């Protein structure tokens, strides 16, 4: 059935007596024509993206299961790990409550909430991509003019979300028994992850109806996800005496309340399934109440004239990029403050496993366990900041491809000034992220371990010591943008991926020294605790600046667009 | 001041592969010997069908692209558009054919930003007048604008500037007829104030209404250039006549596309044809002899001129 006319309003089109069924009450006539075609088309568009997400989620869980089996072979070592981790509020905040001390329970603790978080992210991006993003770009208008029902687009996006999460559930429940975990617990764990994804499918479907911009809709869904994480974290960390009911409020907490591998409470699965159903009903009800392209939240008018500060390419770059930097900085504050605070009990925790101690000292590059842990955190801060830097530099390419470079370059703006504007935002952003990460770690650790002032200053320095290495990675992206624009995204992300892989796994794989040296992060002194040497920092900075210069020189010589 | 604002001769531009691989077949020639001369102070229309190379030519004039090595010369406002890009851009304003704007900025912010990027002084009165004339709401975010409104933003930013040269790439393609009229008035005002305008278009009535001179390009090459009168001189007149008796036109050279309707409602014969101007007097005599009832003659529209131009070219190409 196709509905050609829009919805009928009461008082309009009322014909002879009694014709008040269906449409006359103001609801759009239900039509799903074309859903199957659209869903298959969406799966085709996502044929790379969805397998990649599923791979990351499943491999992450399996890697954790494997690690726990390897590091904690005896029941006694597991019990000791369970006791120390349950008494460390920061770890409980980060990972959740630990139910029991079997391999399965440890895996579910260490990665359950995070796997569910990734499933939720996958689903948010998927649903918004096929609903509001298509609508905003005008593609939906084209599709909607074909023989396609009014509800088909949303229905097909939800169908694809169900498919993706079911695939994740099947893979997980098949994979986990291979690591010696009981089948019932494996299935419970897999369903906990997948139903969390589904709950967020409902939330994203509603968010997609609220705003006219896909970016804002994605933002709403991610804020709900962040709130779910925080409520669960606070509820868990507060313990039984505190407001532990907070964990029950939003989907992420439900994954641990299901208690996989620790006496499964199957009925908890009703919560995410019910919220998925409620999300669907609400989203379809909202679609009926709005026009194509419109959101329910009004698009507020902005300034009719530009503020005096918006006057050149640098201020434009800042204006375009600061919201993303602010979001990154907020993430840094939470992540590193919590991880820093978790460092207090790290000696005890590691004491139970020689293998884990070896892992930490390898990553941190030094024997003293707390320093090794904090240095490892700063390496993580450096790698993440380099990722921010690459993304920010590559914004230049996105602006160029979106025809947004032309209006700037058609003004009296040199190419170097334009290119430098975004590179400068990247450099300033990386520096402030590293400073934020260092400060947050120092504060988090110092407040729990004492001597907060000392730790804040030390960790600030340790964080900023990563800046030259991040400069090299961002510089590679900038050089690629100037010299080989088409390949710039591939080159930039490959450089980051290589540096990450070498820094995290290089020594485990016992790669030769010259290979490890290819990562700029291998040359950063291990701080705190390591020997400070300005020489490598100096020449890393020089290489980074030279790469940026090379990119800008290339930009002057090539065609734009 | 230079007599010519733009001088381009023999421009060639190849896309799609490294230049040393140019014979591999994967390369496309966007420009293939383009000549373009725009005199200072004139409105010059740059006409051609989609894909003829108009936008590529304008992007070379802006210094965003560089012509192939040895691929012709180009001078803009007395400078080299590639080398002196930044200095020259202070003297020109550009409206792209496909206007994209930063979705999170408002129209008003973008107008101000663009004029500041050009280095203009603040002329709030002119800006306000133009916003009024084009009926733009400057406080809306760019993502909420339609294509026509995005185009208005770029047009207002260009017209509000004190640039001496305006480069407009299909500036009216998204505007409604009322706004098109406002645009024409604005361009007429620019001409009288002595600004040079290069206006690319495939809408010929626009060129007819606005342009002093016209350059027609096809497949990256200039096929015709001159004033509209000069171009029409080469052309034919459209004749639509009613006579009491039939006129035989088949045997006469210089009459094209004739259609004859034998008996109209008034009992007359109706003739429609295209006539070479040299044959026009003879045809008029014939029509008078056949008992002329009504007659309308008009110069061909650029559409007709244009269509024939390409039809002729295609014919000679397929013949050769």
**Chain A CB contacts of B143 below 8 Å:** 136, 212-213, 299
Q: What does the alpha-carbon distance between residue B282 and residue B237 come to, in Å, rounded to a whole number?
A: 13
The residue segments making up the domain with residue A355 are 311-561
Q: Does A403 contact chain B (CB < 8 Å)?
A: yes
Distances in Å between the alpha carbon of B100 and those of A361, B103, B110, B118? 52, 8, 11, 18
CB B222 within 8 A of CB B35: yes
Q: How confident is the model at residue A177 (pLDDT cuts 50, 70, 90)?
A: very high
Residue A427 domain-assigned (yes or no): yes
Q: Please give the order of strands across the beta sheet that includes B92-95.
A: B92-95, B165-169, B196-201, B43-47, B213-218, B221-227
A241/A360 same-domain check: no
Please calculate the CA angle B50-B53-B56 and round it to the nearest 5 degrees: 125
Q: What is the value of ipTM here, to two decimals?
A: 0.75
Q: How confident is the model at residue A9 (pLDDT cuts 50, 70, 90)?
A: very low
| CA gap A511, A508 in Å, rounded | 8
A364 in a domain, yes or no? yes
Contact A176, A170 (CB under 8 A): no
For residues A162 and A209, membership in a common domain is answered with: yes
Contact B94 A299 (CB under 8 A): no
| Same structural domain, A327 and A280 | no
Q: What is the DSSP string of A194-224?
A: HHHHHHHHHHHHHHHHH-S-HHHHHHHHHHH
On whether residue A210 sits in a domain, the answer given is yes
Q: Is the pLDDT of residue A11 over 90?
A: no
Which of B94, B109, B160, B167 is most worth mutating to test chain A (most A CB atoms within 10 A of its CB)? Answer: B109
Does the CB of A298 have a partner CB in chain B at under 8 Å? no
| Residues A285 and A315 grouped into a single domain | no
Do B139 and A302 make contact, defined as CB atoms within 8 angstroms? yes
Task: Indicate whether A217 and A256 sit together in one domain.
Answer: yes
In this predicted model, what pLDDT tens digit does every residue of A498-523 receive, in sequence order? 998 888 777 766 778 888 888 999 88
Instruction: Answer with the residue of higher pLDDT: A429 or B232.
Output: A429
CB contact under 8 A, B141 and A302: yes
Question: What are phi and psi for residue A274, nearest 5 degrees?
Answer: -65, -40
* Token code pair at residue A216: 């804002």
Q: Which residue of B has its CA nearest to A415?
A: B86
- Subunit contact A212:B119, Cβ cutoff 8 A: no
Q: How many other C-beta atoms lie within 10 A of the C-beta of residue A372?
A: 25
DSSP classification of residue A59:
H
Q: Out of A292, A323, A347, pick the residue that ends a domain.
A: A292
Q: Which residues from chain B sit within 8 angstroms of residue A413, using beta carbons?
A: 86, 89, 117
Q: Tell me the three state secondary structure of residue B292.
A: strand
Q: Are residues A232 and A201 in the same domain?
A: yes
All residues at 6 or more sequence positions from A215 whose CB lies less than 8 Å from its CB, including other chains: none
Q: Is the pTM of this model over 0.80?
A: no
- Residue A5 tokens read as 């006319």
State how far the alpha carbon of B200 is from the alpha carbons of A86, A251, B47, B203, in Å.
72, 57, 6, 9
- Would the CB atoms of A403 and B98 count as touching at under 8 Å? yes
Assess whether pLDDT exceeds 80 at residue A179: yes
Residue A348 pLDDT grade (very low, low, confident, very high; cuts 50, 70, 90): low
Assigned domain for A14 exists? no
pLDDT mean over B80-99: 89
Domain count, chain A: 2
Is residue A96 included in any domain, yes or no?
A: yes
Q: Are residues A83 and A167 in the same domain?
A: yes
Same domain, A335 and A439: yes
Looking at the structure, do residues A419 and A540 belong to the same domain, yes or no? yes
Contact B96 A403 (CB under 8 A): yes
Out of A261, A292, A323, a domain closes at A292
Average pLDDT, chain B: 84
Judge if A270 and A380 occupy the same domain.
Answer: no
Answer yes or no: is A61 within a domain. Answer: yes
Domains of chain B: 4-231 (3.40.50.300), 236-298 (3.30.70.120)
Mean pLDDT across chain A: 85
pLDDT (tens digit, 9 = 90+) per residue, B126-138? Answer: 999 999 999 999 9
Q: How far apart are CA A478 and CA B18, in angstroms?
A: 22
Min mean pLDDT across A5-14, A181-190, B160-169 is at: A5-14
- CB distance B113 to A306 below 8 Å: yes
Q: Which residue has the tokens 């973008």?
A: B110
Least confident of A121-135, A421-435, A527-541, B300-314: B300-314
| A10 found inside a domain | no
Would an 8 Å CB–CB cutoff place A412 in contact with chain B? yes
Q: Is the confidence at residue A362, as pLDDT, over 80?
A: no
CA A306-A307-A313 angle, to 5 degrees, is: 75
Residue A4 counted as domain residue: no
User: Both A285 and A318 in a single domain?
Assistant: no
Nearest one of B222, B219, B254 to B239, comparing CA atoms: B254
Instruction: Supply the DSSP symbol for A25.
Output: G
Q: Are B95 and B154 in contact (CB under 8 A)?
A: yes
pLDDT at A198 over 90: yes
Residue A392 has what pLDDT? Answer: 93
Q: How far is the C-alpha of A415 from the C-alpha of A407, rounded, in Å?
A: 12
- Find the helix packing angle between A183-210 and A49-71, rounded to 10°: 140
- What pLDDT score does B312 carry? 65
Quote the distance between the C-alpha of residue A508 and its chain's center.
26
Which residue on chain A is closest to B136 by alpha carbon? Answer: A304
What is the biggest distance separating any 2 CA atoms in chain B, rounded to whole angstroms? 71
> Within this chain, do residues A422 and A459 fall inside the same structural domain, yes or no?
yes
Find out whether A168 and A54 touch, Cβ atoms under 8 Å.
yes
Q: What is the pLDDT of residue A126?
A: 95
């Amino acid at each position: 059935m196709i509905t050609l006319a829009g919805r009928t309003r009461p008082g309009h089109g009322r014909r002879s007596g009694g014709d008040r069924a269906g449409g006359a009450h103001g609801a759009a006539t239900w039509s799903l024509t074309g859903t199957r075609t659209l869903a298959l088309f969406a799966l085709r568009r996502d044929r790379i993206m969805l397998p990649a997400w599923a791979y990351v989620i499943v491999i992450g869980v399996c890697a954790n299961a494997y690690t726990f089996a390897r590091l904690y072979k005896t029941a006694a070592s597991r019990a000791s790990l369970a006791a120390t981790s349950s008494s460390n509020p920061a770890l409980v905040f980060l990972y959740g409550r630990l139910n029991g001390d079997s391999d399965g329970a440890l895996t579910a603790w260490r990665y359950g909430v995070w796997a569910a978080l990734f499933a939720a992210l996958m689903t948010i991006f998927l649903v918004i991509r096929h609903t509001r993003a298509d609508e905003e770009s005008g593609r939906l208008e084209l599709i909607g003019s074909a023989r396609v029902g009014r509800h088909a687009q949303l229905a097909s996006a939800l169908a694809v979300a169900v498919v993706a999460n079911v695939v994740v559930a099947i893979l997980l429940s098949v994979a986990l028994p291979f690591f010696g975990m009981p089948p019932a617990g494996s299935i419970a764990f897999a369903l906990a992850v997948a139903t969390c994804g589904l709950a967020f499918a409902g939330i994203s479907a509603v968010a997609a109806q609220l705003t006219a911009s896909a970016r804002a809709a994605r933002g709403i869904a991610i804020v709900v996800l962040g709130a779910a994480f925080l409520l669960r974290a606070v509820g868990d960390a507060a313990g039984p005496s505190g407001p532990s009911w907070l964990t029950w409020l939003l989907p992420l907490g439900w994954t641990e309340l299901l208690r996989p591998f620790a006496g499964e409470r199957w009925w908890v699965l009703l919560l995410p399934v019910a919220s998925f159903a409620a999300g669907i009903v609400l989203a379809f009800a909202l679609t009926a109440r709005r026009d194509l392209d419109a959101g329910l939240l009004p698009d507020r008018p902005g300034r009719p004239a530009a503020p005096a500060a918006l006057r050149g390419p640098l201020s434009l770059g800042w204006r375009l990029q600061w919201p993303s930097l602010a979001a990154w900085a907020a993430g840094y504050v939470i992540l590193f403050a919590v991880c820093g605070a978790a460092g207090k009990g790290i000696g005890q925790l590691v004491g139970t496993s020689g293998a884990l101690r070896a892992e930490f000292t390898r990553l941190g590059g030094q024997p003293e366990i707390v320093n090794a842990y904090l240095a490892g955190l700063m390496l993580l801060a450096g790698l993440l900041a380099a990722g921010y830097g690459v993304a920010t530099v590559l914004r230049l390419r996105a602006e160029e491809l979106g025809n947004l470079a032309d209006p700037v370059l058609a003004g009296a703006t040199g190419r170097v000034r334009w290119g430098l504007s975004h590179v400068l935002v990247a450099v300033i952003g990386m520096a402030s992220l590293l400073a934020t990460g260092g400060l947050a770690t120092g504060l988090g650790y110092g407040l729990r371990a004492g001597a907060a002032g000392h730790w804040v200053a030390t960790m600030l320095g340790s964080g900023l010591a990563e800046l030259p290495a991040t400069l090299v990675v961002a510089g590679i992206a900038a050089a690629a943008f100037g010299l080989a624009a088409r390949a710039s995204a591939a080159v930039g992300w490959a450089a980051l991926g290589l540096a990450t892989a070498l820094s995290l796994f290089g020594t485990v794989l016992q790669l030769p020294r010259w290979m490890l040296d290819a990562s700029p992060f291998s040359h950063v002194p291990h701080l705190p605790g390591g020997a400070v040497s300005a020489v490598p920092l100096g020449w890393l900075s020089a290489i980074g600046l030279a790469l940026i210069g090379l990119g800008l020189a290339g930009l002057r010589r090539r065609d734009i667009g | 001041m230079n007599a010519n604002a733009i001088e381009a001769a023999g421009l060639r531009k190849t896309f799609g592969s490294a230049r040393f691989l140019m014979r591999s077949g994967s390369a496309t020639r966007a420009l293939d010997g383009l000549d373009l001369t725009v005199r200072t102070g004139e409105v010059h229309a740059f006409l051609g069908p989609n894909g003829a190379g108009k936008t590529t030519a304008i992007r070379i004039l802006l210094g965003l692209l560089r012509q192939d090595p040895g691929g012709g010369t180009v001078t803009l406002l007395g400078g080299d558009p590639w080398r002196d890009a930044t200095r020259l851009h202070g003297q020109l304003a550009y409206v792209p054919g496909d206007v994209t704007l930063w979705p999170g900025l408002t129209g008003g912010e973008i107008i101000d930003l663009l004029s500041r990027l050009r280095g203009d002084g603040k002329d709030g009165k002119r800006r306000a007048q133009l916003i009024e004339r084009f009926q733009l709401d400057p406080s809306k975010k760019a993502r909420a604008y339609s294509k026509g409104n995005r185009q208005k933003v770029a047009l207002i930013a260009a017209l509000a500037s004190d640039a001496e040269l305006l480069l407009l790439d299909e500036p009216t393609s998204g505007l409604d007829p009322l706004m098109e009229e406002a645009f024409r008035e604005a361009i007429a005002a620019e001409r009288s104030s002595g600004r040079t305008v290069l206006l690319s278009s495939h809408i010929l009535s626009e060129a007819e209404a606005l342009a002093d001179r016209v350059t027609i390009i096809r497949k990256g090459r200039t096929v015709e250039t001159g004033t509209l009168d000069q171009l029409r001189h080469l052309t034919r007149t459209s004749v639509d006549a009613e006579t009491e008796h039939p006129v035989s036109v088949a045997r006469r050279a210089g009459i094209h596309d004739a259609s004859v309707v034998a008996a109209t409602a008034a009992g007359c014969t109706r003739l429609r044809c295209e006539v070479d101007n040299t044959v026009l007097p003879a045809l008029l005599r014939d029509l008078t002899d056949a008992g002329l009832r009504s007659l309308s003659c008009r110069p061909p529209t650029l559409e007709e001129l244009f269509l024939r131009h390409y039809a002729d070219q295609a014919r000679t190409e397929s013949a050769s």
